[in-house]
């Protein structure tokens, strides 16, 4: 059964390879979804997969890429988007 969450990440998360960082971890673990910039400077992340795998990626999102400074992440449960792979938008 798939577990899906959507989150909004705040802080210094644009222009610091944050989305590619999330993509690399998600793909390595086998989690589907996306990471895309928001107009207000945040990043929206969608993660779908096995619950333990999704939680592992959520922890990486909270840590952030080496150049990022994550101030907060707000998660909510969502329906499976049917995404194939992990997309950076």
pLDDT value at residue 80: 87
Domain boundaries, the chain: 16-88
Catalytic hit among 37, 63, 69, 76:
37
Cα–Cα distance list, 80 to 30, 42, 47, 89 (Å): 15, 22, 9, 18
Is residue 37 annotated as a catalytic residue, yes or no?
yes
19 is catalytic: yes
Q: How far is CA 37 from the centre of its chain?
A: 11
Over residues 47-71, mean pLDDT? 97
Distances in Å between the alpha carbon of 18 and those of 2, 69, 80? 24, 9, 23
| Short-list 29, 31, 17, 36, CA closest to 83 | 31
Task: Classify domain 16-88 by CATH number.
Answer: 3.30.70.100
pLDDT higher than threshold 80 for residue 34 = yes
pLDDT level of residue 1 (50, 70, 90 thresholds): low
Q: pLDDT at residue 14 above 70?
A: yes
The closest of 14, 77, 5 to 43, measured between CA atoms, is 14
Of the residues 19, 20, 36, 69, only one is catalytic, namely 19
Q: What is the mean pLDDT of residues 76-81?
A: 90
| pLDDT exceeds cutoff 70 at 27 | yes
């Amino acid at each position: 059964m798939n577990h899906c969450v959507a989150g909004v990440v705040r802080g210094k998360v644009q222009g610091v390879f944050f989305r590619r960082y999330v993509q690399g971890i998600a793909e390595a673990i086998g989690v589907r979804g996306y990471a895309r910039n928001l107009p207000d400077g945040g990043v929206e992340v969608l993660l779908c997969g096995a619950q333990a795998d999704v939680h592992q990626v959520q922890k990486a999102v909270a840590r952030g890429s080496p150049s990022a400074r994550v101030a907060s992440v707000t998660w909510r449960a969502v329906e499976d988007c049917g995404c194939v792979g992990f997309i950076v938008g």
